[in-house]
Structure formats: C-alpha cells, structure tokens
Amino acid sequence: MDANNLNVIVGEGTCGIAAGSKEVIEAFQKYAPEINIKSVGCVGMCHQEVIAEINDNNGNRYIYGQVTKKTVPQIIKFHKGEGEPLDENLIYSPEKQDSHKWQYLGHQTRIALRNVGNLDPTSISDYEKRDGYKAIKKIVAEMTPDQVIEEIRISGIRGRGGAGFPTHVKWDFARKSEGDVKYLICNGDEGDPGAFMDRSLLEGDPHNVIEGMLIAAYAIGATKGYAYVRAEYPLAVKNFGKAIEDAHALGVLGENIQGSGFSFDIKIKEGAGAFVCGEETALIASIEGDRGMPRCKPPFPAVKGLFGKPTIINNVETLANLPWIINNGGKAYAAYGTEDSKGTKVFALAGAIKKGGLVEVPMGTKIRDVLEDIGGGSSSGKPFKAVQLGGPSGGCIPESLFDTTIEYASINATGAIMGSGGMIVMDGSTCMVDLAKYFLSFTQLESCGKCTFCRIGTLRMRELLTKICDGEAEMSDLDTLDELAEQITKSSLCGLGQTAPNPVVTTLRYFRGEYEAHIKDKSCPAAVCKSLITHTIVPADCTGCSLCEIQCPVGAITGEKKVKGSYAIIQAKCINCGMCFEVCNSKAIQVK
C-alpha cells in the first residue's frame, strides 16, 4: 500500500484538542511525513476522541477512536501493508460496517450536523464542495423574501434555542416591521451546563451558520448582523472569524452579494458568560454595550430591537438547518419529525452515559432510544434514574417516562422543556435533592437581579434545599418550596426566572420520597449529602494498603501499613469528602 496516497483526517474540535489531537498529528507527521493530513471539527463522538480517519488509495475508509501518539505507529504500519489493524480502536472499516461503535452515528439523522467532522472548517472550498453557499445564491437569484419565508413555513421548523417559537412567524413579523435598518442576530450564547451543540457547529461548520444568517437576513430585509458567541469558545470565535473573512473574499458576504443588490455583513460580539444573556432582550442590551438585563415586552425585538430597530434573533442550530431546507425544500424537512414538531434536534449527551457527545435525531424519537441505542446505556452499569432535559431551566424526567417522545408538547407535559438540547443523564448514584440544589444555585447566581422574586426567591429556595441536604429541614419546608416556585414563575420578567424552579418542581414531583428521606429519616438514599452519610472501613475487606490514610486530607484515618484490617476512620474528624472511597482498591470503604 502506497503511503503517499494515504489521507488522514483528525478531529480537532475543542474535545479533540483536549484529548491530545495535536500530539496525534505530530506523531503522524513524524512517522509518515509523506501522508496528507486534514483537520476537521468534532463529529460528535466525544467519547472516542482523538478520532482519526484513514482513506487509502483503494478507496477504503478506516476510522479509529481513542487514538494516541503511541498508537499512531501501528496504524501507519498496517496502512503501509504490514501488521494487523488496531481492532480495539476501530470504529469503522470495510469489514466492520456494522460495528456497535459505528452505530452511534448510524442511528442518527444529521441535517444541522451534516458537515461537522466531514470538512475543514477553515476551508471555504471544502464547504463549497458540499453545496456550500448554493442556497443563498439560489434565493437571491430566484426567490423573493416572501417566498423564502413561505418555504420555512412549509418546513415547520421552530426555534431550536429553547422556546420553540415558529421561525416563519418571527420572520414575518420582522419582514412587515418598518425600519430603515434591520438586524439579524445569531445567538451563540450557549450557557447551559453540559451543552455544547452551538460550540460544535461554530467550530466545525462556521460557513453553514453564516449561510443560514444570510438566508434569514434576506427574508426579513436585514443588512447588518451580529454573531453573539461566548468568549469561553475561543476556537469557535477564531474559526467563525476566519469564515467571515473568506466569505467576504468569495463575494457571498458584504455589499451587493452576487450582484443581486442584497447587502449583508456580520460582526462578532463576544459574550462575557452571563447566562441571562441567552434571553433575547438581555442579549440585545449586551451588544449595545449595556449590562445584560431583560426588558418588558412588548414591544418585541421584531418591532423594536437592537438600537431600536427591527431585529430577529435565531439560535445557531436553527440557522444551521436553513441552507439544507432551501436546497432540499421545506417538504423534505417536514418529512422528518411529527405533526407538531418537524425536522431533527441536536442533543448533547453528558453525565452517566457510556457514549457521551452530540446526537441528532428526528423529532418524535423516544428519549430511551437516544440514551440506550445511541448513548449505549449507563456508564456505571447501574440502571438509569433520570435525565435532566433543558439545562438549568429544564426539568428532571424519571426513567419511568423515558418512552416520552422528543417533541415540544410531550416534553412540556412532563414538566421539563426541550431547551437548547442538553441531556444530563443520572444513575442511582445521583441525589435528586442535591441535583436540584446545584441547578437552583446556578440560576440564582446567574439572575440579573432585576426581579425581586427571581433575585430573592431563588436564594430562599437554595437555602431551603441546603437545609434539606444538611438534614435540618421540616416537612413544611416542602410546602414553602412549592409556594416559592409558583410565585417566582408567575412574577419573573424573563425566561430565566420563569423556569428557574423547574428542577425543584420536577424532582419534588417525581422523587418526593428522596426529599422525605432527607427530612424524616435524616438519610440520603444516594449516599451523597455529606451531613447525612458516614464512611466506615470494613475490617474483613481492608488489605492494609494505606492509600486511604495517605489521601485523607484531615488525618481522620489511622492504622498500620500492610496489616490487614487495621485501618479505621475517626468519625469525629471525618468530613465525608469521599477521597478514601475513591482510592480504595479493595472496596473496603462503606458509605451509608
């Protein structure tokens, strides 16, 4: 096999870089300097990073996962015609097309993510080869703005940023609004813990998002655009900035695009990480240079938005679908999904899941199918307990409801929300009270403080949850939580406050027994809450290795090294940090 004809594609999204992609590329260059190497974004299989694809001169495709600089020499050796392939690392090959690893992608329907991991995000020619900028050239030459809006109406796409508002309706409002200048904003302020859908798209397929912005801008009559991207996403900012420059050079961005008379330009605004700026009016205030705080509506941004002009804000994922819809037709997109929820949805799988990463599935897919068929089940081997859907503003769906279909109405009926698409998976080791406290603490910290019930009410809820986790609460505190949740939801101005109680409300609804165990029995069923658990050493299982004593930060463990069963925990000193449990090789530490 001729190594000169080998093409190597390496995943260089943020997750790939963190896993060591730079070292892997250096190893390929060292051991086979004659091969061609190409960097792409994350294909979504974050659990397999670093991922390297080899295309040989016979047209064969091999995809390897968990590649390191140490495995590179053997991979090169095989593709030079020597030795055997690394079967344990193979995700896909001509002989393993039905690999269980490959099924992670095989069970997906990728529209928004269709290019991510398949092209060099810094190459505009790569994007053009995959029908890039074909859609914008088509609409400026053949379609009126009203025809574009009608095609989006036929597609049935709804906003993928959380609320699920029909995209064509929002556009129609702005189209009909009077204004000498109109703005189009791409909302890339992805603030949910465990969510990374927008980051992956901006890093791995920036031109697709730009083309989506162009389509939306043409439809509403906007001439100026902003991409609001979190500053914590430096690679996304870098790749998107490069894509803007290249789009200008190609003539598909800027003045008089393709000689059509349509002009549109984009600026990047880096967000400082305020969760509340995911709310559209707070985001607008941030771009204008003010503190990111929501304002009363109406007037809605489509009538009076950025700098007082008609403004449309679309989420990154929403925009990423638009070129495909224009190229393939609204009916083709509407063929996926359900009557109420059309198309596909991207989710970020995180937590106690075996195969974490990004997935894109048709609306109407069951939650269980996503977690088991694609996610591979629980990473710990323990049964699933719940999934937090919709981020801090979402809710906990118990395992008993995992046959719920992914569509707006059915998800809302559980008390959760679709949100931007974060799925945080939990098994039996998760304390649902502690989880609710974590999310409530996040939203309380991120509250802008404008509304009293959001500012003070969330603080009071967090204090009550802390009391429960510490075993100091009373049953009446649960009634107070319910009351506060209702008042905060009704009295808050924006979506942050209106949905902040959701994690508490849903865990009380589905896991009330855990709350009662904390209060009545002074125990944490998941053995998580430090004030309610005890660490002990079982003498019969102790090998005397001394690891627990070495790692204990407060000197609460005593014993004689190499003497079996000699170690014990001094309860008066123990802070229940769990370090001993983590390092014990003989599983002699018992937590109750």
Tens digit of each residue's pLDDT (9 = 90 or more) over 211-242: 999 999 999 999 999 999 999 999 999 999 99
Q: What is the mean pLDDT of the chain?
A: 94
> Are 227 and 190 spatial neighbours (Cβ–Cβ below 8 Å)?
no
Both tokens of 404, joined, read: 């719920």
Strand 422-427 versus strand 344-351 pairing type:
parallel
Q: What angle do CA 360, 350, 365 make, to 5 degrees?
A: 35
Whether omega before 362 lies within 30 degrees of 0, making that bond cis, reads no
Tokens 């991979």 correspond to 75
At 110, the pLDDT band (50, 70, 90 cuts) reads: very high
pLDDT at 3: 54
pLDDT at 181: 96
**pLDDT tens-place string over residues 121-179:** 999 999 999 999 999 999 999 999 999 999 999 999 999 987 789 999 999 999 999 98
Q: Which of 301, 528, 318 is nearest to 433 (CA)?
A: 528
SS3 state at 430: coil
4 pLDDT more than 70: no
Q: Which of 420, 336, 491, 503 is nearest to 163 (CA)?
A: 420
Strands of 380-484 (E only): list them. Answer: 384-389, 395-398, 422-427
pLDDT at 56: 82
pLDDT at 393: 86
pLDDT at 87: 87
SS3 content of the chain, % helix, strand, coil (to 5): 45, 15, 40
pLDDT at 592: 86
99 pLDDT more than 80: no
pLDDT at 2: 52
**pLDDT tens-place string over residues 73-90:** 999 999 888 877 788 899
pLDDT at 546: 93
Structural domains of the chain, with CATH:
3-102 (3.40.30.10), 124-334 (3.40.50.11540), 344-427 (3.10.20.600), 432-521 (1.20.1440.230), 534-591 (3.30.70.20)
Other beta carbons within 10 Å of 55? 18
Mean pLDDT for the stretch of residues 239-258: 96
CA R_g for the chain = 26
3-state DSSP of 201-240: HHHHCHHHHHHHHHHHHHHHCCCEEEEEEECCCHHHHHHH
pLDDT at 451: 92
Mean pLDDT for the stretch of residues 249-268: 96
Backbone angles phi, psi at 306, to 5 degrees: -60, 125
In a 13 Å sphere around the CA of 78, the CA atoms on its Cβ side amount to 14
pLDDT at 246: 98
**pLDDT tens-place string over residues 433-460:** 999 999 999 999 999 999 999 999 999 9
Provide DSSP, 253-307. SBSSGGGSS--BEEEEEEE---GGGGSHHHHHHHHTTS-------SSPTTTS-GG
Mean pLDDT for the stretch of residues 579-584: 92
**pLDDT tens-place string over residues 385-400:** 999 998 888 999 999 9
**pLDDT tens-place string over residues 309-351:** 999 999 999 999 999 999 999 999 999 999 999 999 999 999 9
Which bin fits 482, alpha (ψ -120 to 50), beta or left (φ > 0)?
alpha
**pLDDT tens-place string over residues 351-393:** 999 999 999 999 999 999 999 999 999 999 999 999 999 888 8
Alpha helices in 401-457, H assignment, sequence order: 408-413, 432-446, 452
pLDDT at 116: 96
- Cα separation, 565 vs 418, in Å, equals 51
Both tokens of 201, joined, read: 């798209």
Both tokens of 536, joined, read: 């002990």
Least confident of 97-111, 177-191, 237-251, 372-386: 97-111
Altogether, the residues listed in the chain come to a count of 592
